[in-house]
């Protein structure tokens, strides 16, 4: 091999080596830049996920807070009014004491049914005459909501169930007094029961005649009371209108009483002085005689 060929081959080897080194350096640089850029991308992805999770947590917290606020505003205080009946079935008011519209302290929300003891004892007829009597079962509106069972009670016998199933029963007076019972039924449950006594015509007349005539006495007492009240009111009005004259009259009367009391006191003093003067004279005479003797 000639020296010129050896020099060319060595030059080619050097150039190939420099090219390989340059390729390796460029490859390492690209890998380093890729490795430097990848953590930033990962951090950006993680930041987006954290932001989404935080927004979801905030929305859940807001929804919970809204639910709490709604719960606090919904809380209301309720009271129940008195039942309209002491037995059987009646109605009562449901009163709201907090959260009323217009800033009112209390307001009626609704009216609901209320119940008391079943046995209502003895009732009074709705209306009666010498020939017939009208009896009424215990009920509330609507009347057709309940079922009514009327019975004719007999002593020492089974009661007779009447065919009438309405709330009102009209009975004609018989020769003997009779007792009726009405049961109010709701959902196959007796919620009220009341009894009535239907007297005969003669018994009713006797009761009316034996009853004291209190109406006339009551009217008389009320009339007298009204007249006295009107008289007192007129006297008060007269005193208020003529207050000056009344005051002067009472002042003159008071002054005359004072003068009379003073005169009586002076007369009493004069009388006592006259009573005491005769007793004093003998004492003076005794003193004079003792001085004379000396």
Which tens digit of pLDDT belongs to each residue from 125-140?
Answer: 999 888 899 999 998 8
Using DSSP, state whether 200 is helix, strand or coil: coil
pLDDT of 270 above 50: yes
Between CA 97 and CA 228 the distance in angstroms is: 46
pTM of the model: 0.47
When pLDDT is averaged across residues 201-228 and rounded to a whole number, the result is 81
Task: Give me the pLDDT at residue 169, please.
Answer: 93
Q: Which residues of 256-283 are buried (b: 16+ CB within 10 A; e: fewer)?
A: eeeeeeeeeeeeeeeeeeeeeeeeeeee
Q: Evaluate if residue 214 carries a pLDDT over 80.
A: no
Q: What is the pLDDT of residue 35?
A: 41
Cβ(182)–Cβ(153) below 8 Å: no
Model pLDDT, residue 259: 66
- Where b means 16+ CB within 10 Å and e means fewer, 218-242 reads eeeeeeeeeeeeeeeeeeeeeeeee
Judge contact between 81 and 114, C-beta under 8 A.
no
pLDDT above 80 for 5: no
Is the predicted pLDDT of residue 236 greater than 70, yes or no? Answer: yes
Torsions phi, psi for 284 (to 5 deg): -65, -40
Q: Among candidates 78, 82, 111, which has minimal Cα distance to 97?
A: 78
List, for residues 150-207, the tens digit of each pLDDT value. 999 988 889 999 998 899 999 999 888 999 999 999 999 999 999 999 999 888 888 7
| Angstrom distance (rounded) from CA 128 to CA 222 | 29
Number of H helices, E strands in the chain: 4, 11
Q: Span 270-291, mean pLDDT?
A: 53
Closest CA to 168 of 131, 121, 119, 126: 126
User: What is the structure's pLDDT at 49?
Assistant: 53
Instruction: Please report which confidence band the pLDDT of residue 28 belongs to, taking 50, 70 and 90 as the band edges.
Output: low
Give the residue with greater pLDDT, 114 vs 77.
114
2: confidence class by pLDDT, cuts 50, 70, 90: very low
């Amino acid at each position: 091999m000639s020296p010129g060929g050896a020099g060319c081959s060595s030059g080619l080897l050097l150039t190939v080596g420099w090219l390989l080194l340059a390729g390796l350096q460029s490859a390492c640089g690209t890998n380093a830049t890729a490795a430097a850029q990848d953590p930033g991308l990962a951090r950006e992805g993680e930041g987006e996920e954290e932001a989404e999770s935080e927004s979801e947590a905030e929305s859940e917290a807001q929804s919970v807070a809204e639910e709490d606020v709604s719960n606090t505003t919904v809380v209301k205080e309720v009271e129940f009014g008195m039942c309209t009946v002491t037995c059987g079935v009646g109605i009562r008011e449901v009163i709201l004491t907090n959260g009323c519209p217009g800033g009112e302290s209390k307001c009626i929300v609704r009216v609901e049914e209320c119940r008391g003891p079943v046995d209502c004892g003895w009732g009074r007829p709705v209306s009666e005459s010498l020939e017939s009597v009208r009896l009424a079962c215990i009920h509330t509106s609507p009347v057709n909501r309940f079922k009514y069972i009327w019975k004719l009670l007999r002593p020492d016998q089974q009661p007779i169930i009447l065919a009438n199933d309405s709330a009102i029963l009209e009975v004609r007076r018989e020769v003997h007094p009779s007792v009726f019972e009405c049961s109010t039924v709701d959902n196959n449950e007796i919620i009220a029961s009341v009894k009535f006594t239907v007297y005969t015509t003669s018994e009713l007349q006797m009761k009316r005649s034996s009853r004291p005539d209190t109406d006339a006495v009551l009217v008389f007492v009320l009339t007298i009371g009204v007249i006295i009240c009107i008289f007192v009111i007129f006297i008060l009005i007269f005193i208020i209108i003529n207050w000056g004259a009344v005051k002067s009259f009472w002042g003159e009367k008071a002054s005359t009483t004072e003068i009379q009391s003073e005169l009586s006191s002076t007369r009493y003093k004069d009388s006592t002085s006259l009573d005491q003067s005769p007793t004093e004279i003998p004492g003076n005479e005794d003193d004079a005689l003792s001085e004379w003797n000396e």
